[in-house]
Amino acid sequence: MGTFRASTDNAPSVCSSRRVPIFFTVFLAAASLSAQSVNLKIDFAKDSPVTPLSVESGDSTATARGGAYQVNVHASLSLRNLSQKKIRGITMAVLAQEVTPGGKGSVSIPSLDVTPNDAFTVRIDVPLIRPLSAGQGAPAVEVRLDGVLFEDLSFYGPDSLHSKHNMTLWELEARRDRKYFKSVLETAGDTGLRNEMLRSLSREADRQQQQPGVQMVRGRSTNFDAGQDVQFAFLDIPESPAEALDGTARITSDGARAPRFEVRNRSTRPIRSLEIGWLVKDQQGREFLAASLPAEANLAPGKTGQVLEQDTALKFRDSTNISTMRGFVSNVEFADGGYWIPSRAIIDDPKLRSLVAPSPEEQRLAQIYRKKGLAALVEELKKF
């Protein structure tokens, strides 16, 4: 995920009277004789808090394969913040065909710091499928604004991609992690912060190396392998407002499917939804985070309920024989709009540290350190 710092250098001025639907139609050059140009349409609503300024086409192409186009969108979109609030995140839907599998994609940018009237850039790199029968003359790819998250955690947008929930969680994680690294700098100085960044980079490299190819898919299974039900073990996180009590998933020859969990709300607030981290250990002893399962819960305080993901499955690209499974509650959304996320002490626990990916913000800060050095990282932390 990319992250961009806002800049107003040489950007044209935009006043509020330009808050009207704006459409950029860009014919993107084909990369080869066999590929066709792509018609890209940028469609933002009249009251959008951001407005498009320009589009750079890149090398997007649409290549006919069988009865469909393989569309590879590579574009750079310049936007301006028209609101009176700082923008912390943005999500856009990228559509070649809404009803076709593979016809929809998205781009989410967390950890932004875009002040009012500033311009910023969003890079779009999305592969899509569009049927040849979709019609002549219709835009091949449409880009729509799905949501904008502001500094006060207010939100604008249709939220068709569940982007409000995701971006709010990312922003809360970002605040937690920036606070942690600033405290390390204050208490342990440059040496302590450098060591933390080196540990973060090493941990992520090790995690990526051990992670096998796995994909979470949704939809009714066509696999007639009956498989067998395997019980979950659970990591108890005392500070979590929800406790996973019991759970199973069906193990098949190519993965696992139909996870079921029993969860208790041990807080004093009604829970709207939660996510459960799904840890898998194979017969070679490798353990990894296979998926994070979001689920509606609707649990009153003290109540227990079942979370059943009947149409969810894990598909392994390589031969992976599952030995055991563990789970843990990774975040909770309350009915009043509040959230719970694990503290740094929890995610730094040895039971999770080597398994769970660093937050998008921690990854961004680690890359600043890797590419620009410690001084650049310190300056970045001072901006917040």
> C-alpha distances in angstroms, 363 versus 12, 96, 157, 201, 366?
32, 30, 27, 8, 5
DSSP 8-state class, residue 117: T
Q: How far apart are CA 184 and CA 194, in angstroms?
A: 10
Structure-model confidence comparison of residues 329 and 216, the more confident one: 329
Q: What is the pLDDT of residues 276-315, one digit of tens each?
A: 998 888 877 888 888 888 888 899 999 999 987 777 877 8
Structure-model confidence comparison of residues 355 and 35, the more confident one: 355
Q: How far apart are CA 170 and CA 178, in angstroms?
A: 12
What does pTM read for this prediction? 0.84
Q: What is the pLDDT of residues 217-271, one digit of tens each?
A: 765 555 555 678 889 999 889 999 999 999 998 888 777 888 899 999 999 999 9
Structure-model confidence comparison of residues 361 and 208, the more confident one: 361
Q: What is the pLDDT of residues 12-62, one digit of tens each?
A: 333 333 333 444 444 444 333 456 777 888 989 999 999 999 998 777 888
Q: What is the pLDDT of residues 155-199, one digit of tens each?
A: 999 999 999 999 999 999 999 999 999 999 999 999 999 999 999
Whether the CB-CB separation of 292 and 330 falls below 8 Å is answered with: yes
Please check the confidence at residue 321 and state whether its pLDDT lies above 90: no
Q: What is the pLDDT of residues 117-156, one digit of tens each?
A: 999 999 999 999 888 776 555 457 899 999 999 999 999 9
Average pLDDT over residues 81-91: 98
The pLDDT score that the predictor gives to residue 16 is: 32
The pLDDT score that the predictor gives to residue 9 is: 35
Would you say how long the chain is, in residues?
A: 384
For the chain, helix, strand, coil in percent to 5 are: 20, 45, 35
Q: Which domains does the chain have, with CATH numbers?
A: 16-153 (2.60.40), 214-357 (2.60.40)
Q: How far apart are CA 345 and CA 167, in angstroms?
A: 22
pLDDT band at 7 (very low <50, low <70, confident <90, very high): very low
Amino acid in position 168: T
The pLDDT score that the predictor gives to residue 13 is: 32
User: What beta strand segments (E) does 178-321 contain?
Assistant: 214-218, 228-234, 242-252, 255-265, 271-282, 287-299, 304-308, 312-316
The pLDDT score that the predictor gives to residue 300 is: 97
CB-based contacts of 265: which residues, under 8 Å, 6+ apart? 241, 242, 271, 297, 299, 300, 301, 302, 303, 304
From first CA to last CA, the distance across the chain in angstroms is 20
